[in-house]
Each structure stands twice: as C-alpha cells, then as structure tokens.
Chain A
C-alpha cells in the first residue's frame, strides 16, 4: 500500500540520518581523536623520517672533508639542470694535474627530487637532508653551494671506491 511505503520510507530515512549523526557526534565527544600536530610549537621534538627528501646535501665529516671528485656525472644525469659543477685543475702530491671541485652549485628552486644524482654518484658524495623549511623571500637564496668553504677531498684507497659503484 502506498501509505505504508510512504511511512516506512520516512522512518528508514530518519534512521539513516541518525546513524550518520552518530559518527560525527562520536568524534565530537572524543577530543583524543584529534590528529592535528601542533606545529610550529613542536619544532623541538619534531623528528622526520630518516629517508625524508628535504634537500640534496653533501655530507662533510669532522675534518671538513667530503667525497666529491668533481666528475660531473650528477650534472649529466640531472634531468633539468639543477646542478652545476665548477672545477679547477690542481697539482697533487705525485706532481700530476688533477681535477678538483671548486663549487658544486645546486638550484633548490628547480630540483624535482628525482634522486638520480644521489643514485648515480660513483663516490657516494651526495645524500638527502631532513631540512624542510625552505621558504625564503629572495629566490637567489635557493641557489646553494654544497661543498663548504675550506673543505677538501677525503682520500680513500682506490679499491674501496670501486666496490661502492652501484650501476
């Protein structure tokens, strides 16, 4: 009968609405379910995941030494030219002219975080850093020089370097 379906429709509709209201009502009275992180008040205790892709860095050890030989493989592999390598020729201990890295320029504003430079570096000189607060008022501050002033190349025995070549 149409009257019966009319009335049962009303009750079914109201029941479905009530069930929906129960969910939002549940979350209203359970403030423990709030998932907001209190940034920036929690900056001191904030721990990012160790593999987080914040920016490309060149790790230096305690003697201010890095592993970059200035070979330029990262510059060739970068798809959009975010890396520029500037090298100079120097005379090393055995008297031969050798290529030494002068500036490893990294354009953070153009980087697409594809990881090719880190992966193809034969001397493992680059790594990801965890810093994510990159907002600046001047775009030129986003062009960084990765090797620190006064740093020099870490001397490793040659056999160890060959083992670390990935592919």
Chain B
C-alpha cells in the first residue's frame, strides 16, 4: 500500500527536498507555487470542458435523445470545438458601459472559484492548502463570486442584465447561510474544521451513515442550498433563458462569456466535491467499523478513484435536479430559504450538538 498511487506524500516531499537542496528557500517556494498554479490551471480547464460535455450527454439521455456524438468519438472534442469558436468570436464593446468593471467581472468570478479549488483534498498527500480553518476558508472565498455577478449586471448598461444580477445577488447572499450551517453539523461531528482531519475521522465509516438522521437532513439541505448558490438547476432565474434571454451575462460575447460559463461548471464541481468530502468521506474508501477484511478489500481501490467517483455521483445528482424541475420565482426562492431551510438547519444543529455530546452516533 505504499506505491505512489495510494499515497502522494513521498512524491511531493521528494520534489520539495530536491528544490530546497539546490536553490534558496524563497526561490524554491516560488517555483513550487508556480508548479501548483499551472497544474491547477490545467485541471480547471480540462475538467471545465469535459463537465460541459458530460452535462449535454446526461441531459440528452434524460430527454430520449443522443447528445453531441459527431465531433470525435462520442463527442469527445465537442467542447474543444466550441472553445475554439468562442475564442474566434468578436468581443462586442458596449456603448456607455463601464469598461473597467465590464472587463473585470469575469475575472472576479474565475478567481473566486479558483481559490476554492485550492483547498480540495484530492487524495492522500494531494492537498494544496491544508488550513486548520479549511471549511471556513472555502465558504468565505466562494462568496466572492457574487461580487463578480453584481458587477457584470451593473456595468452592462442593460435593464435585462441588471434585473438578473439583482435577483442573483439576493439569492446567493441568502443561501450562503444555509450552506454554512449545514456544513457546521459535520464540523461538530468531526470536531475540527481542517479538511484532512474531517476525512480521517471518516476512516471507520462515512458521516452520512454514522450521523444517521441529522446527517441525512444536513446533506439534503446542503444539496438544495448549494444548487442555489451556484445559480443552477431549479434556481437559475438569474440567467433564465426563457424569461430574460440570459440575464446578467446577456451582453458578454466570446471568451468573456466562456469565463462565466466555465466558472458556473467549476462551482458545481467544487460544491459536489465538498459534498463528497464532508458527507461521503472524500478519498476515504468505504469502511465499515469492525469488518477488517472488507475494509482491506476496499483499500485496494486507489483513493483518487474513490474521490472522483463520489464527486461524479454528486454532479449527476445536481444535473438530475436541473433537468427535471421547473424554475422557482424569486420570492418563492427566498421564502424557501428564510422560512424552510433556515429553521430546519438551526433545529438540526441543536440536535447534532446534543447527539455529539451524548455520543449517540455510530
């Protein structure tokens, strides 16, 4: 169990030692940061592209049709073709739009999601930032995205965009509460906000099983709140195509539109991976406390496969929501948050605190 595929720590440590031996401390740190940045950029781009293709194929199967399957085997190169098309498009300048803010908005959205990706634990040892306030950092950083959306809507000098941005701002700010409070239940169970600690505490079983009813309730609330956070699914009235012709990013064309589009899919990926990490154990294989042979068999599958499998399942669930349900109106959305999700969350936290104190979980 010590080959690199199971534990990436020796690999990263050897690179670190190699660099510090040959260069000074400052230079080694800089080169490491550059390497990590490039790896993440590549990862971001590739996963973003293939998530778009996956969504189109999944929604097509649900609708009794095939998705894109002509460009490359099974449509493999479809998004790359779309990306090339978007790169070649004209960037239409808007009259009397605030130029600086108009160009800045896509970058803010990308930066917010990029900062959150850095904290995801992909496998043992493959964890870029391991703060002791891991969850707190992620929630704080992902709420920067709303600034980008509001700036985009305001600087477009168009009524459609402004309506979309205002709706989206109200929605994201409200649902951040539910996201934070539902993740708080797992923090109480695990006893720490550091992500690697949370994963280690699931070594004898995932929290969704160990924390029985309150954890299931927290999981449901988290899924609903996070689809609302990312402007997806039945909560996508910020960009409701059938009402407002694309909402806050109506006036963007070409690569800037591609940024918004990509950021939405990466936000979905981040949310899915945090659901997988907190509730389903991240890269921890399925262990049942006490069944040692079973645990030993489960350990044969490399942790990175576990992680991507769980994330893919969560992503499928989010896509399933989008393609089945009609859209909620803005006041119904806010009613859902303030009158239903928030009280349920608060009651849930009380119950979880009580259960954790009495050790009534598995």
Contact = CB atoms under 8 A, between A and B. Distances in A.
Contact of B324 (A10, A20, A34, A35): A20
B340 interface: yes
B65 A36 contact: yes
Interface in B21-65: 58, 61-65
B325 A33 contact: no
A31 interface: yes
A17 interface: yes
Contacts of A17: 324-325
A35 B321 CA distance: 23
Contacts of A31: 61
Q: SS class of chain B's interface: helix, strand, loop or mixed?
A: helix
A35 B64 contact: yes
A25 interface: yes
A116 to B, nearest CB: 38
Contacts of A21: 320-321, 324
Contacts of B323: 24
B247 to A, nearest CB: 24
Nearest to B321: A21
B173 interface: no
B318 to A, nearest CB: 12
B87 interface: no
Interface in B46-86: 58, 61-66
A27 B63 contact: yes
Contact of B64 (A10, A25, A27): A27
B338 to A, nearest CB: 14
Contacts of B62: 24-25, 27-28
A24 B61 CA distance: 9
Contacts of A34: 61, 64-66
A24 B320 contact: yes
B320 A25 contact: yes
B65 A20 contact: no
A23 B63 CA distance: 10
A5 to B, nearest CB: 13
Interface in A23-54: 23-25, 27-28, 31, 33-36
B65 A35 contact: yes
Contacts of B58: 28
A36 B66 contact: yes
Contacts of B324: 17, 20-21, 23-24
A20 B322 CA distance: 12
Given A17-B325, A28-B58, A33 B320 contact: no
A125 to B, nearest CB: 42
A28 B65 contact: no
A81 B320 CA distance: 53
B352 to A, nearest CB: 19
A27 B340 CA distance: 31
Contacts of A36: 64-66
Contacts of B340: 10
B234 to A, nearest CB: 9
Nearest to A38: B66
Contacts of B65: 34-36
A29 to B, nearest CB: 8
Contacts of B64: 27, 33-36
Contacts of A25: 62, 320
Given A17-B325, A20-B324, A28 B61 contact: yes
A36 B324 CA distance: 20
B66 to A, nearest CB: 5
A33 B320 CA distance: 18
Contacts of B320: 21, 24-25, 28
Interface of B: 58, 61-66, 320-321, 323-325, 340
- Which 3 pairs show the lowest CB-CB distances between chains A and B? A24-B62, A24-B324, A36-B65
24 contacts: A10-B340, A17-B324, A17-B325, A20-B324, A20-B325, A23-B324, A24-B320, A24-B323, A24-B324, A25-B320, A27-B61, A27-B62, A27-B63, A27-B64, A28-B58, A28-B61, A28-B62, A28-B320, A33-B64, A34-B61, A34-B64, A35-B64, A35-B65, A36-B66
Given A10-B340, A34-B61, A35-B64, 16 more contacts: A17-B324, A17-B325, A21-B321, A24-B320, A25-B320, A27-B61, A27-B64, A28-B58, A28-B61, A28-B62, A28-B320, A31-B61, A33-B64, A34-B65, A36-B65, A36-B66
